[in-house]
């Protein structure tokens, strides 16, 4: 299990865990299609995280991105 | 993003802006009787609900290329078949459980209004991400139609949508549209016409 | 029949018992007005839907029943209930997508893709942001709109229309006082409509044109993600970037759009900053025009307003309890904007804006007329003259601050008139521009603030803004004098 802050940029990753106790953060991520089982590509980390799921790009701040763990 | 939506909300202008429009729009609004069918446009943010609303009603609401442009409900009349139908444009929502205020607006409208039809607009490029909302709308027992929008952009990405298969799997009418190019609007209208209670058909003796 | 999603066993069990429970309570106040199926309502309860639960909480008995069902289901599951529900839906969605969606060719890196990278890469994105602000805002709106266009339209109005209006009124209306209502120095047509049409409209039109272009191209979300970190320091998030940029066009519209912000705290901070330190296009356009000949003065004004924006934001964020909402935003593809759409949108916004301000400008003319006729204005102006003198202004500017109360841009436009007469020094211009920028928002924005944030919050903000504006003016004037700076 790896945090997004450590994975290689541009490689497809499978989400395994969402580590947050905030309902809202969880809901947001799920609404954007980010949940255990879905695959994503991390495109950049600064100034914001940009994640691509399918054909959707999403920008996230560091704290929100920190709750995503991939295989 | 749009203040001019506040005057527009109820078809008539409340205040000073565009007083000349009062003369044009009020009569249209008055034509609406309480028995008229109401349909709502719903869907995730930035899928083209407002463009479709423009196409159906001829009323302009601000459209932008970013999620969250529409923050209020807009209403307008559309001619579907022989009938006047009240079309309601809603702010985007990701799921039936609202996260933000404008999502709550859309959800509460669905929850508390009796609607003749609900059109869920989805982005063809991101169909997989949009379908969970479709499932929820079907679960809620709403009279749902699916408008698979932005087909032009999907084509450019080399994506093909099997319209029939999707309709069969979901058990609801599915229409492919490119609202920005005015494609598929007629198909959508005729699919809508089938959902409306039929006109008082004169039954020959 | 439509296909339903089947959830995991424990969830289906919970749905079944909740469905029965809901069916039994269908006529109660809780569910009567809802149109959704019982299955759907059961799922909403399981997902802890905030509004359903707050209604449920009115009856502790009911609440406990539902909670028990939820706990039983949760104990049998590996993931939280709402995650499990979402996952099942997502799996079903993905399965269905794989059946109905075919990808015929692999997408290669296209031009829009390259452009996207260019806009969000920090090395190229930040310079691009500066370039866009410089050319789009400063050059196009500031120099072209507020400079070139205003000069021409204003010149035409003063040269061609005002004399004719004055002449006609003088001929058909015998009374001097009534003539003044329509024409001459403070008339409805010669002052009110002139401000609206010749000074404010060109600035606002060019700004909205530029904003629509940024909007339709899809650049704004990219701007949001680039500035998220900066905005975080003010208790806001990248989401607030769009309202703020819109606020540089019209603060009233922007105040309405703060609704898209996630937490109440963010909405309060954004509304406050909009009303204090974000000048609308009409205002900064006119100020830019005023200070155009004095680059140093312009720098002082711009630097100070930016500093106040950042500092007040930072301090407010420290003082207001609560945390800032997280930032998440979909980044739509970049699109080539369609000229027609941009023009329509600009036109609609302008129309809205114009009809919003024109009556206020006309009313202002009428009030000024009544005020001057009855001597009431003289009294008020006398009253604020010491205040104006305290910030180092000549007495002629006192009316400007009074008009500024009707609308900030009206005040700025009045300043424009005084400057044309060559009555102000560089220092005085800067101080006046700063005070007017910080000063109360226009009446329309006040109404919107009350509507969106409530009366109490609005009054609190106003009570801070007015003294703060004058105090800042006082300090700047004092500072400039002490340092012996002559701008």
Summarised one tens digit per residue, pLDDT across range C396-410 is 888 887 777 666 667
Q: Is the pLDDT score of C284 beyond 60?
A: yes
pLDDT average, residue stretch C428-437: 89
Q: Which residue has the higher pLDDT, C229 or C32?
A: C229
The pLDDT of residue C57 is above 50: yes
Domain ranges of chain C: 9-100, 125-483
What is the side-by-side strand order in the sheet with B74-80? Answer: B74-80, B83-89, B37-42, B117-123, B144-149, B174-176
Please give the residue of chain A at the shortest CA–CA distance from C91. Answer: A37
Cβ-based contacts under 8 A for chains B and C: 195
* Residue A14, helix vs strand vs coil: strand
Is residue C243 scored above 70 in pLDDT? yes
A24: nearest CA partner in chain B: B99
Contact call for B125 and A55, based on CB within 8 A = yes
Whether the CB of B142 is below 8 Å from some CB of chain C: the reply is yes
Of B55-69, B145-159, C235-249, C356-370, least confident by mean pLDDT is: B55-69
Peptide bond into C214 cis (omega under 30): no
Residue with tokens 């307003």: C305
pLDDT (average), residues B157-176: 94
- Please give the distance of CA C151 from its chain centroid, rounded to a whole number: 27
Q: Is A30 on the interface with C (CB under 8 A)?
A: yes
Restricting to C residues 447-476, those with a Cβ less than 8 Å away from any Cβ of B are 448
pLDDT computed for residue B101 by the predictor: 75
- Number of Cβ atoms within 10 Å of the Cβ of B39: 21
Are C244 and C230 spatial neighbours (Cβ–Cβ below 8 Å)? Answer: no
- pLDDT, residue C79, reads 83
pLDDT in tens, B78-95: 988 888 899 999 988 989
Question: A31 vs B157: CB contact, 8 Å cut-off?
Answer: no
Tell me the C-alpha distance between C155 and C161, whole Å.
10
Residue C207: which of C242, C248, C241, C243 has the closest Cα?
Answer: C248
Q: Structural domain of residue A37, as residue ranges?
A: 2-70
B2–C253 C-beta distance less than 8 A = yes
pLDDT band for position C307 (cuts 50, 70, 90): very high
- CATH of residue A53's domain is 2.30.30.90
Of B97, B108, B102, B87, which Cα lies nearest the Cα of B40? B87
CATH classification of B5-12+20-195, choosing from 1.10.240.10, 3.40.50.300, 3.30.2020.30, 3.10.580.10?
3.40.50.300
- C9-100: CATH topology is Helix Hairpins (1.10.287)
User: What are the residues of chain A with a beta carbon less than 8 Å away from any beta carbon of chain B?
Assistant: 24, 27-28, 30-33, 53-56
CA distance B8 to chain C (A): 10
DSSP 8-class letter at C395: G
Query: Among A5-9, A54-58, B11-15, which stretch is predicted with the lowest mean pLDDT?
Result: B11-15
The sign of the dihedral angle between the CA atoms of C22, C27, C30, C34 is positive
Pick from C279, C277, C274, C271: nearest CA to C320: C271
Number of domains composing chain A:
1
Chain A residues touching residue B125 (CB < 8 angstroms)? 54-56
pLDDT band at B116 (very low <50, low <70, confident <90, very high): very high
ipTM for the complex shown: 0.94
pLDDT at C85: 93
Q: Chains with ≥3 Cβ pairs under 8 A against A?
A: B, C
Characterize the bridge pairing of strands A39-44 and A49-53.
antiparallel
């Amino acid at each position: 299990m790896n945090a997004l802050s450590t994975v290689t940029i541009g490689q497809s990753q499978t989400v395994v865990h969402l580590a947050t106790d905030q309902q809202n953060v969880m809901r947001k991520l799920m609404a954007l299609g980010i949940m255990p089982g879905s695959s994503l590509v991390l495109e950049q980390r600064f100034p914001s995280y940009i994640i691509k799921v399918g054909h959707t790009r999403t920008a996230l701040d560091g704290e929100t991105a920190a709750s995503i763990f991939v295989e | 993003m749009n203040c001019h939506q506040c005057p527009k909300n109820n078809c008539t202008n409340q205040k000073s802006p565009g007083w000349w429009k009062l003369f044009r729009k009020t009569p249209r609004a008055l034509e609406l009787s309480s028995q008229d069918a109401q349909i709502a446009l719903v869907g995730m943010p930035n899928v083209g609900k407002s463009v479709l609303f423009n196409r159906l009603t001829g009323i302009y609401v601000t459209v932008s290329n970013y999620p969250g442009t529409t923050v209020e409900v807009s209403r307008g009349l559309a001619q579907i078949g022989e009938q006047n139908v009240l079309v309601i444009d809603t702010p985007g929502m990701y799921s039936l459980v609202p996260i933000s205020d404008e999502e709550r607006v859309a959800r509460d409208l669905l929850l508390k209004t009796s609607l003749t039809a609900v059109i869920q607009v989805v982005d063809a490029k991101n169909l997989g991400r949009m379908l969970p909302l479709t499932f929820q709308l079907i679960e809620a027992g709403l009279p749902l139609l699916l408008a698979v929008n932005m087909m032009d952009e999907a084509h450019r990405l080399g994506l093909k949508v099997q319209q029939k298969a999707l309709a069969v799997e979901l058990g609801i009418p599915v229409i492919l549209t490119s609202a920005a190019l005015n494609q598929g609007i007629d198909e959508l209208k005729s699919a809508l016409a089938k959902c409306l209670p039929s006109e008082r058909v004169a039954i020959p003796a | 029949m439509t296909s339903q999603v089947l959830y995991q066993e424990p969830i289906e069990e919970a749905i079944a018992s909740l469905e029965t429970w809901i069916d039994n309570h269908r006529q109660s106040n809780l569910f009567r007005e809802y149109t959704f199926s019982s299955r759907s309502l059961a799922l909403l309860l399981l997902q802890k839907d905030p509004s359903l639960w707050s209604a449920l909480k009115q009856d502790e008995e009911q609440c406990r029943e539902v909670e028990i069902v939820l706990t039983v289901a949760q104990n049998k599951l590996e993931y939280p209930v709402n995650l499990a529900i979402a996952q099942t839906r997502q799996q079903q969605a993905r399965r269905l997508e794989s059946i109905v969606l075919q990808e015929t060719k692999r997408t290669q890196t296209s031009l829009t893709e390259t452009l996207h990278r260019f806009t969000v890469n920090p090395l190229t994105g930040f310079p691009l942001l500066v370039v866009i602000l410089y050319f789009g805002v400063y050059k196009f709106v500031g120099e072209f709109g507020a400079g070139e266009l205003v000069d021409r339209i204003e010149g035409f109005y003063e040269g061609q229309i005002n004399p004719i209006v004055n002449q006609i009124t003088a001929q058909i209306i015998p009374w001097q006082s009534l003539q003044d209502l329509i024409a001459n120095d403070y008339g409805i047509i010669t002052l009110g409509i002139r401000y609206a049409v010749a000074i404010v409209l060109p600035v606002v039109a060019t700004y909205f044109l530029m904003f629509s272009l940024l909007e339709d191209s899809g650049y704004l979300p990219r701007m949001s993600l680039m500035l998220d970190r900066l905005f975080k320091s003010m208790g806001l998030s990248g989401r607030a970037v769009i309202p703020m940029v819109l606020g540089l066009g019209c603060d009233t519209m922007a105040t309405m759009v703060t609704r898209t912000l996630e937490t109440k705290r963010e909405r309060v901070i954004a509304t406050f900053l909009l009303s204090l330190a974000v000048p609308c296009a009409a205002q900064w356009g006119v100020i830019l025009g005023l200070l155009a000949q004095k680059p140093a003065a312009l720098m002082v004004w711009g630097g100070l307003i930016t500093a106040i924006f950042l500092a007040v934001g930072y301090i407010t964020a420290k003082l207001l309890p609560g945390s800032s909402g997280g930032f998440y935003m979909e980044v739509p593809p970049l699109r080539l904007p369609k000229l027609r759409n941009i023009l329509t949108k600009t036109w609609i916004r302008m129309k809205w804006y114009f009809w919003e301000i024109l009556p206020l400008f006309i009313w202002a003319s009428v009030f000024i007329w009544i005020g001057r006729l009855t001597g009431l204005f003289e009294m008020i102006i006398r009253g604020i003259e010491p205040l104006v003198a305290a910030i180092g202004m000549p007495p002629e500017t006192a009316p400007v601050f009074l008009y500024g109360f009707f609308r900030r841009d009206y005040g700025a436009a009045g300043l424009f008139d005084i400057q044309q007469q060559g009555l102000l020094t560089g220092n005085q211009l800067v101080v006046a521009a700063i005070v007017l920028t910080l000063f109360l928002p226009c009446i329309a924005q006040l109404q919107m603030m009350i509507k969106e944030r409530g009366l109490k919050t609005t009054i609190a903000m106003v009570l801070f803004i007015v003294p703060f504006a004058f105090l800042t003016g006082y300090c700047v004037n004092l500072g400039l004098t002490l340092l012996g700076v002559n701008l």
